[in-house]
């Protein structure tokens, strides 16, 4: 078999002329997977104060904000708005309001440094910026670096922060919107949703600087429906013990919505399936455990570091986790060992794993409902409406059980990298295929196993770190002659950046005789990175000195040898 097709229920066609808010807020089309409920279920509960938000209020707040944005800033079709915020009750409202006026939203990580934020602004060129209150001053500085005026920056606060009495805030703009005329929100032209940009989500590339992935309205809707179809949501013939999602579910809301996993599954899928999201502005393990007990959370949507805490942290051993019936782990590979440890802590739950990437709008594979616990180490099986092929190094196609680079085809495949045609051509291929850069094996039953990462990205928690970016920065330091960066395993973060540094000749000789000097140089190099880069890029995995960085004849760093060297050092230390 050269091409692999999903064995899940087929994806039932749906209109391709609707925007994200028209589909999720307005319910302009009925799909067999959508649950119909008689009672009013809250879409969100604010973990900080217990406030409940229902679909009707989300729709009203969205419409009022859209009116004000159009009236005051003249936003219209093609406008880009940057949103830089952690999770917030109005995060979705900000996105959907921009969609209502025909614009798109660039989702920016609020933990970035000033220079990193400025780079994202320079790439997206937003007409307007919505900034969370706690990073407002940083955003102001970054915006000024790229000539975005202060008058085009709005604060996303907590409903009326007195500090911003003279600055436009989302809460004020929503209130003002009640006085403006409604916006005429017509459906798009046929097939327009497939090509109309809804979001820019940032993804690191092997060349170092992040790229902006263009995600269409159709991509978001399609991936949610692929997941719902695959998981047989609202299927009356599904055995009760296999029912995984439906009205009344209460989900953790700790996944950041600026990350594709949180955006698609943590926000839009949860709203579609009539679940309630217990929204956390930032991840706090103690608060999450308290919320599980207080709100009887049934669904844990988490990443591997959170699974490690649940498995090993003493607080989890004492916590009331009796309400949990399902746990989905995504964002990074999950080892069989971690899955076993989690099941030891919360036995009898359904445990699923997911595989995907920003360029595929999130999901490519999930654990099927007929597996109470997904095959250990597997990323699940291909979603409904998804086709895959595995390409060997010689260009031939792998068969069942043979390794090859995973290529994916389906409605979730995004439109490419924003204003970067050369990078788009490398990853997005003719015919709607995308190269994942992951070497995988597909088993006879459809289970997908990731066996190697062909691309060079380091996965820190759910964030992508490009070694080339850190190498370029380290080479600016006067002590460094050459450098190679790799990811080293870490129980909590999955991987951490580790730098093998070739020192300038005079220093290289000195550090072999002076351990104190060696430690000082490592500290200098660590600070060189930590003072300029966001936390996930810090060299928390360590710094080692090496005589020469192994490279191919073409000059490409042979990271496999560096990883082997690091593994050998780890084994040696373990024996001591």
**DSSP states of 195-249:** TSEEEEEEEE-TTSSEEEEEEEHHHHHHHHHHHHHHTTTT-TTS-GGG----TT-
Read off the pLDDT of residues 27-62 as tens digits, 9 standing for 90 and up: 888 899 999 886 789 999 999 999 999 999 999 999
Q: Within 13 Å of residue 96, how many CA atoms lie on the same side as its CB?
A: 27
The pLDDT, as a whole number, for residue 295 is 97
Lookup: tokens for 184: 């005429």
Which neighbouring-strand residues pair with 406? 390
Which neighbouring-strand residues pair with 408? 388, 434
Between strands 299-302 and 326-329, the pairing is parallel
Which neighbouring-strand residues pair with 503? 480
Question: Where on the phi/psi map is residue 248: left (φ > 0), alpha (ψ -120 to 50), or beta?
Answer: left
- Nearest to 414, CA basis, from 211, 206, 566: 211
Read off the pLDDT of residues 481-519 as tens digits, 9 standing for 90 and up: 888 999 998 888 889 999 999 998 889 889 888 999 999
Q: Where are the domains of the chain?
A: 3-14+205-453, 55-186, 459-575
Q: Which helix (H) or strand (E) holds 345?
A: helix 336-345
User: Could you give the strand order of the β-sheet that contains 276-279, starting from the edge strand earlier in sequence?
Assistant: 52-53, 44-46, 276-279, 250-253, 299-302, 326-329, 350-357, 362-366, 381-382
- Nearest to 384, CA basis, from 362, 357, 405, 365: 365
- Nearest to 275, CA basis, from 300, 304, 294, 312: 300
Per 3-state DSSP, the chain is made up of helix, strand and coil in percentages (nearest 5) of 35, 25, 40
The pLDDT, as a whole number, for residue 65 is 97
The pLDDT, as a whole number, for residue 162 is 53
Give the chain's residues under pLDDT 70: 1, 38, 159-164, 204-208, 454, 552-556, 574-576
Q: What is the third-level CATH fold of 55-186?
A: Rossmann fold (3.40.50)
Q: To which residue do tokens 């436009």 refer?
A: 168
574: buried, middle or exposed (CB in 10 Å: 19+, 13-18, 0-12)? exposed
| Cβ pair 494, 459 in contact under 8 A | yes
Question: Where on the phi/psi map is residue 257: left (φ > 0), alpha (ψ -120 to 50), or beta?
Answer: alpha
> With the C-alpha atoms ordered 343, 288, 139, 416, is the resulting torsion angle positive or negative?
positive
Measured in degrees and rounded to the nearest 5, phi and psi for residue 438 equal -110, 135
Dist CA 567 CA 489 (whole Å): 9
Dist CA 304 CA 306 (whole Å): 5
- Nearest to 326, CA basis, from 238, 245, 221: 245
Domains 3-14+205-453 and 55-186 share a fold: yes
Lookup: tokens for 69: 């944005």
The pLDDT, as a whole number, for residue 574 is 64
Identify the CATH number of the domain defined by range 3-14+205-453. 3.40.50.12780
Instruction: Render 391-424 in DSSP notation, one character per residue.
Output: E-TTSPBP-TT--EEEEEEETT----BTT-HHHH
Which neighbouring-strand residues pair with 81? 105, 128
Q: How far is CA 45 from CA 50, 51, 247, 441, 485, in A?
A: 6, 5, 15, 40, 42
- pTM for the complete prediction? 0.86
Please tell me the CATH superfamily of domain 459-575, with its number.
ANL, C-terminal domain (3.30.300.30)
The pLDDT, as a whole number, for residue 303 is 87
Read off the pLDDT of residues 314-332 as tens digits, 9 standing for 90 and up: 999 999 999 999 999 988 7
The pLDDT, as a whole number, for residue 572 is 73
- Nearest to 290, CA basis, from 278, 308, 272, 277: 278
| Cβ pair 219, 414 in contact under 8 A | yes
The pLDDT, as a whole number, for residue 279 is 97
């Amino acid at each position: 078999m050269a091409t692999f097709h999903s064995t899940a229920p087929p994806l039932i066609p749906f209109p391709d002329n609707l925007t994200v808010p028209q589909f999720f807020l307005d319910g302009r089309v009925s799909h067999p997977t959508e649950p119909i409920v008689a009672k009013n279920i809250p879409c969100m509960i604010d973990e900080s104060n217990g406030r409940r938000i229902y679909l009707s209020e989300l729709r009203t707040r969205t419409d009022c904000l859209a009116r004000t944005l159009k009236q005051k800033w003249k936003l219209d079709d093609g406008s880009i708005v940057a949103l830089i915020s952690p999770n917030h009750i109005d995060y979705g409202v900000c996105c959907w309001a921009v969609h209502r006026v025909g614009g798109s939203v660039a989702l920016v990580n609020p933990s970035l440094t000033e220079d990193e934020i400025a780079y994202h602004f320079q790439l997206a060129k937003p007409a307007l910026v919505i900034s969370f209150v706690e990073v407002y001053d940083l955003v102001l500085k970054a915006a000024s670096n790229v000539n975005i005026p202060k008058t085009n920056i709005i604060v996303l606060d907590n409903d009326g922060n007195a500090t911003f009495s003279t600055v436009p805030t989302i809460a004020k703009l929503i209130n003002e919107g009640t006085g403006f005329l409604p916006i005429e929100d017509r459906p798009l032209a046929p097939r327009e949703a497939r090509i109309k940009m809804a979001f820019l989500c940032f993804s690191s590339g092997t060349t170092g600087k992040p790229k902006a992935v263009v995600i269409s309205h159709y991509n978001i809707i399609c991936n949610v429906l692929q997941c719902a179809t695959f998981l047989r949501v609202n299927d009356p013939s599904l055995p009760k013990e296999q029912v995984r999602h439906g009205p009344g579910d209460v989900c953790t809301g700790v996944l950041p919505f600026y990350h594709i996993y949180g955006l698609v599954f943590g926000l839009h899928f949860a709203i579609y399936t009539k679940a309630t999201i217990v929204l956390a502005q930032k991840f706090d393990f103690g608060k999450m455990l308290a919320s599980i007990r207080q709100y009887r959370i049934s669904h844990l949507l988490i990443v591997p570091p959170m699974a490690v805490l649940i498995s090993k942290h003493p607080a989890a051993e004492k916590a009331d986790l009796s309400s949990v019936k399902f746990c989905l782990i995504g964002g990074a590979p999950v080892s069989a060992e971690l899955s076993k440890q989690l099941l030891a802590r919360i036995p009898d739950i359904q445990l699923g794993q997911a595989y995907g990437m920003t360029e595929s709008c999130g999901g490519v594979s999930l654990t099927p409902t007929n597996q109470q616990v997904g095959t250990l180490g597997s990323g699940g099986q291909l979603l409904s409406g998804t086709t895959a092929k595995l390409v060997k190094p010689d260009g031939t196609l792998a068969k069942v059980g043979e390794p090859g680079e995973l290529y994916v085809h389906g409605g979730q495949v995004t439109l490419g990298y924003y204003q970067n045609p050369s990078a788009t051509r490398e990853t997005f291929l003719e015919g709607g295929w995308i190269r994942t850069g992951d070497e995988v094996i597909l088993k006879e039953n459809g289970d997908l196993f990731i066996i190697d990462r062909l691309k060079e990205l380091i996965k820190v928690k759910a964030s992508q770190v490009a070694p080339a970016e850190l190498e370029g920065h380290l080479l600016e330091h006067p002590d460094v002659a050459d450098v190679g960066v790799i990811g080293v395993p870490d129980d909590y973060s999955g991987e951490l950046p580790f730098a093998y540094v070739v020192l300038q000749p005079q220093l290289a000789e000195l550090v072999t005789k002076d351990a104190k000097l060696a430690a000082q140089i490592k500290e200098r190099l660590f600070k060189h990175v930590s003072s300029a880069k966001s936390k996930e890029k810090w060299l928390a995995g360590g710094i080692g000195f090496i005589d020469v960085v192994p490279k191919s004849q073409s000059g490409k760093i042979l990271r496999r040898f560096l990883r082997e060297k690091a593994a050998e050092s780890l084994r040696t230390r373990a024996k001591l």
